[in-house]
Amino acid sequence: MIPFNKPFIAGKELYYIAQAVTYGNIAGDGHFTKACAKLFEDQFGITKVLMTPSCTAALEMAAILCDFQPGDEVILPSYTFVSTASAFVREGAKPVFVDIRPDTLNIDESLIDAAITDRTRAIVPVHYAGVGCEMDRIMEIADRHGLLVIEDAAQGVNASYKGRALGSIGHFGAFSFHETKNYICGEGGALCINDERFIERAEIIRDKGTNRQRFFRGEVDKYTWVDIGSSYVPSEICSAFLYGQLELLDTIAQRRRAIYETYTRLLMPLADEGRLELPNIPEDCQSNYHMFYVLLPSREIRDTLMEGLRAQGITAVFHYIPLHTSPMGHKFGSDQQHLPQTDALNGRLLRLPFYYSIEDQEIHGVVDAMTDILTGLSVPKTSQSPMPTRVV
Ligand SMILES: *Cc1c(COP(=O)(O)O)cnc(C)c1O
């Protein structure tokens, strides 16, 4: 049996949980929560990092900080996780979906200008699979129109674009430490703030709408209710676990890179025969190798492959149902959404088992099973012309 994902222990995670208990503080913002935030600020060049209970919580905080007025619009891809849109919709913003680039499956920056209206307030690029969006272009568009940029870097922790860490480029960035991501603590996240104007209000929103952080710093002599907010502080238990992994940032990254490169090498013959397409990483991007996906020629072949693997105990999974086709997408998005690349991709993508502790022998097993299934297929008449060879 080869699962799609397996949570892992890489170092001192459990020891640090015990240590958090002995330090006598397992609620929020203790030793380990502060240590995680500081590590991200120092290593990734982020102005201020606030640890949160999830990436969804971080996106919600960013959405509150955007201060939307009724009718305001937010630009984002349809090919993404629900939270990318829901965090903004619950603050009253209207999602405007933009198509993706066929090479990275990230938002197509060349289509953003055309989606901007006088109601547009923000752009939410999603760094799919840990490969950066074209951030120079996106920031230039945002500057020109006075928009805020919120990077959904849930999958982009420890990846970079032109040498800058994902999450450090937009006004805000959001990280996830969900057990399916690269660095994990069960459920967890972080809000990255790169524009100092937002730091003080972010601290208040995170702490139930109180100015308790200012009180802790001795800036006010009592704390009180000063704004809207919620409980967006993670447990110290989760931060202790996460810190055990962040200490091994590079070790974990190197293993993921090796897994990715093994898949690439072993799948090359199938790609050369035009049976599938491999993912593509532009030169400007240093990936964190968050996932390994392949694109099949059709939904039929993808489903046959997925079922065939499952029959051999290998779990490979598809990904997002595009949000513009969802019930909430219909309710809150525009009526006419023409997203040909998103529609064309839908049904062709398959994600392969990928986790820190996967053995090389298991990767070989996955690829052998894929080869058997795909070479045993007579190409159905419904399928189009053979796939173009690998995008370089
Ligand atoms: C995982 C993920 C999220 C949500 O992260 P949580 O920590 O589970 O809230 C948001 N956006 C993207 C693109 C994701 O992959």
- Kindly report the protein residue whose alpha carbon is nearest to atom 5 of ligand 1: 55
Residue 377 has pLDDT above 90, yes or no: no
Site of tokens 């760094």: 127
In angstroms, the CA 251 to CA 183 distance is 11
- In the prediction, which pLDDT does 231 show? 97
Q: Is the CB–ligand 1 distance for residue 152 below 6 Å? A: yes
CB 134 within 8 A of CB 106: yes
Q: Is the CB–ligand 1 distance for residue 323 below 6 Å? A: no
375 CA from centroid of ligand 1 (Å): 35
223 CA from centroid of ligand 1 (Å): 32
Kindly state the tokens that stand for 349.
């993508």
Question: Domains in the chain, ordered, with CATH?
Answer: 13-246 (3.40.640.10), 249-375 (3.90.1150.10)
Give the number of the atom of ligand 1 that is nearest the alpha carbon of residue 54.
Answer: 7
341 CA from centroid of ligand 1 (Å): 22
Give the three-state DSSP class for 189: strand
- Kindly report the protein residue whose alpha carbon is nearest to atom 6 of ligand 1: 55
Q: Is the CB–ligand 1 distance for residue 52 below 6 Å? A: no
Kindly state the tokens that stand for 286.
């240093």
Kindly state the tokens that stand for 369.
């099973």
Which helix or strand (DSSP H or E) is residue 295 part of? strand 293-295
100 CA from centroid of ligand 1 (Å): 18
CB 306 within 8 A of CB 287: no
Point out the least confidently predicted range of 1-5, 107-111, 172-176, 333-337: 333-337
**Residues written for the chain:** 392
| pLDDT digits 0-9 by tens, 118-134 | 999 999 999 999 999 99
- In the prediction, which pLDDT does 378 show? 67
Site of tokens 């050369």: 272
Q: Is the CB–ligand 1 distance for residue 80 below 6 Å? A: yes
Angstrom distances, CA of residue 122 to CA of 139, 165, 190, 303: 11, 20, 19, 36
**For helices 55-66 and 199-206, angle between their N-to-C axes, nearest 10 degrees:** 130
Q: Is the CB–ligand 1 distance for residue 168 below 6 Å? A: no
In angstroms, the CA 377 to CA 361 distance is 25
Which helix or strand (DSSP H or E) is residue 349 part of? strand 349-351
Phi first, then psi: what are they for 294, rounded to 5°?
-125, 155
Give the number of the atom of ligand 1 that is nearest the alpha carbon of residue 177.
Answer: 7
Q: Is the CB–ligand 1 distance for residue 55 below 6 Å? A: yes
Q: Is the CB–ligand 1 distance for residue 154 below 6 Å? A: yes
Q: Is the CB–ligand 1 distance for residue 342 below 6 Å? A: no
Longest dimension (CA), the chain: 75
Percent of the chain with pLDDT over 90: 93
61 CA from centroid of ligand 1 (Å): 14
333 CA from centroid of ligand 1 (Å): 20
188 CA from centroid of ligand 1 (Å): 10
Give the number of the atom of ligand 1 that is nearest the alpha carbon of residue 176.
Answer: 7
Residue 381 has pLDDT above 80, yes or no: no
| pLDDT digits 0-9 by tens, 210-269 | 999 999 999 999 999 999 999 999 999 999 999 999 999 999 999 999 999 999 999 999
3-state secondary structure 229-289: CCECCCCHHHHHHHHHHHCCHHHHHHHHHHHHHHHHHHHHHHHHCCCCECCCCCCCEECCC
Q: Is the CB–ligand 1 distance for residue 288 below 6 Å? A: no
Q: Is the CB–ligand 1 distance for residue 81 below 6 Å? A: yes
Q: Is the CB–ligand 1 distance for residue 88 below 6 Å? A: no
In angstroms, the CA 17 to CA 130 distance is 28
- In the prediction, which pLDDT does 253 show? 97
User: Any residues with CB less than 8 A from the CB of 307 and at least 6 apart, and which?
Assistant: none
Residue 386 has pLDDT above 60, yes or no: no
In angstroms, the CA 131 to CA 166 distance is 9
3-state secondary structure 51-117: EECCHHHHHHHHHHHHCCCCCCEEEEECCCCHHHHHHHHCCCCEEEEECECCCCCCECHHHHHHHCC
Q: Is the CB–ligand 1 distance for residue 182 below 6 Å? A: no
168 CA from centroid of ligand 1 (Å): 17
**Burial call 156-176: b when 16+ CB within 10 Å, e when fewer:** bbbbbbeeebbbbbbbbbbbb
In angstroms, the CA 264 to CA 391 distance is 13
Angstrom distances, CA of residue 120 to CA of 262, 313, 339: 43, 47, 19
Q: To test ligand 1's pocket by mutation, which of 127, 133, 166, 178 has the most ligand atoms within 8 angstroms of CB?
A: 178
CB 323 within 8 A of CB 12: no
Give the number of the atom of ligand 1 that is nearest the alpha carbon of residue 57.
Answer: 9
Residue 148 has pLDDT above 80, yes or no: yes
- In the prediction, which pLDDT does 389 show? 46
pLDDT interval class at 379 (50, 70, 90): low
Other C-beta atoms closer than 10 Å to the C-beta of 288 total: 29
End-to-end CA distance of the chain: 33
Give the three-state DSSP class for 183: coil
